Amino acid sequence: MARFLKKIMWLTLALIASAYLLDLAFTAVFQRGRTVKAQWLHGMHDQRYDVVILGASRAWWNIDGTSIDTVCGVRSLNLANNHGTILEALHSLELFLAQGNTTGLALYQMDLNRMDRDRGMLSKSAYDHLPFLDDSLTYAHLSAHSSEWAAYRYVPFYRYAKFNHRWGLEELLVSGLGLNRSVFDSTGSHFRDRAFSGPETYRPENRHYNLNPDVLLLRDLCRRKGIRLKLFMAPYLSLRLAPGVLPQVKETLHANGFEFHDMSNRLPNKRYFYDNVHLNGEGGRRFTRMLIDEVVCP
């Protein structure tokens, strides 16, 4: 038995040592990469922007940052992430500011399902920050949600083994060789041009929408830092809601001190969409023009 336990002990020690070395190497390489926005954001220091766009896929894939820059003569940055929740937008903005960057205006694309759902939630985009858990702000933000983040930070290589489909060998080569595989332009925007698929009508629940307290945290951060915060709702192809629902949402947001622009019914044409909630390139450019005229630089 002693012989077996000795073997197990040596194996465990060897495993821990190897995992520690691998973790060091992977972290060093991933922190230099530029595939996901988290890598981009963590490497961004002392930059001055005029507009920062926050939200989920309907902010990332629906807006043309270059047009905003050209037409308004500003410097814009799109920090939105697919599936991103309000708390993740808050973390992005906090991190952005903590690294010495500045902005005068923050735009948050508000989805109906974010109004009172996903409170205190993280999406899978949170795992884009795995190589950056040594950053105290990031770790504090993520570890507040679940103890699993402590394991990711302190158990060597656990984070890369568990998420090797995302932070594995392939990504190691991409980041290590400096191959840029990011799906966003220099402003952080990206259009998805693909054939339309799925149902045309979007049917959220017809009910009273309360306010997600997470958005108040975003409002308070902007107030503290002197940033003007504007909320907007990007177009849906065909939004099916009972007549009183959207006015109630607007009223709730206005009552809590938010400037809210409802643009949900602005492009009711299938040629501008690739599904019922996401615009294609043509729709994105049209919508950006509306956003510029009414929200960014009216």
Partner 1 sequence: MIFTSLPFAAFLVVVFTLHWLPLSRSKRHQNAILLAGSYFFYGWWDPRFLLLLLVSSLVDFLVGLRLHAAQDPRVRNRWLIASVVTNLSLLGFFKYFNFFLESLRLALGWNELPASLHIILPIGISFYTLQTLSYTIDIHQRRMAPTTNLLHFLTFVSFFPQLLAGPIERARSLLPQLAAPRVFDHDKAVEGCRQMLYGIFKKVVVADRMAPYVDAIFAQQDAFGGGINVLGLVLFSIQIYCDFSGYSDMAIGMAKLFRVDLMTNFDRPYFSTSMRELWTRWHISLSTWFRDYVYIPLGGNRGTRAQWARNLMLTFTLSGLWHGASFNFIFWGALHGAFYIVERLTKYEQLKWPTLLKWSGIMVPYLLARVFFRAEDMHHAWEYLSNMFSSSGAGLARLLSAANTTPVSFLATMVLAALLFGIDRLGMLPRWTSLFHGNALLRRSCYAMLLLMIALFGAFTDTRAFIYFHF
Q: Does residue 154 bind partner 1 (CB under 8 A)?
A: no
Could you say which of 9, 13, 28, 169 contacts partner 1 (CB under 8 A)?
169
Distance of closest approach, residue 13 Cβ to partner 1, in angstroms: 13
- Among the listed ranges 1-9, 27-35, 47-55, 208-216, the one in contact with partner 1 (CB under 8 A) is 1-9
Q: How far is CA 207 from CA 116, 159, 203, 241, 264, in A?
A: 11, 40, 12, 9, 17
Query: How far is Cα 132 from Cα 29, in angstroms, rounded to an integer?
Result: 11
Site string for partner 1, 244-283 (x = CB under 8 A): ----------------------------------------
Residue type, 1: M
| Residue 131: partners with Cβ closer than 8 Å, 6 or more residues away | 26, 27, 30, 31, 39, 159, 167
Could you say which of 31, 40, 143, 163 contacts partner 1 (CB under 8 A)?
163
Q: Does residue 177 bind partner 1 (CB under 8 A)?
A: no
Query: How far is Cα 86 from Cα 109, in angstroms, rounded to an integer?
Result: 10
Looking at the Cβ atoms of 163 and 260, the one nearer to partner 1 is 163
Distance of CA 101 to the CA centre of its chain: 17
Backbone φ and ψ for 115, nearest 5 degrees, come out as -55, -50
Distance of closest approach, residue 247 Cβ to partner 1, in angstroms: 38
Looking at the Cβ atoms of 111 and 171, the one nearer to partner 1 is 171
Looking at the Cβ atoms of 64 and 171, the one nearer to partner 1 is 171
Distance of closest approach, residue 164 Cβ to partner 1, in angstroms: 6
- Among the listed ranges 28-36, 154-162, 202-210, 219-227, the one in contact with partner 1 (CB under 8 A) is 154-162
Position of tokens 């394991």? 151
Tokens of residue 217, six digits: 């945290």
- By C-alpha distance, which of 64, 87, 72, 104 is closest to 287? 64
Question: Given the rule CB under 8 A, which residues bind partner 1?
Answer: 1, 3-4, 7, 15, 18-19, 22, 157, 160-165, 168-170
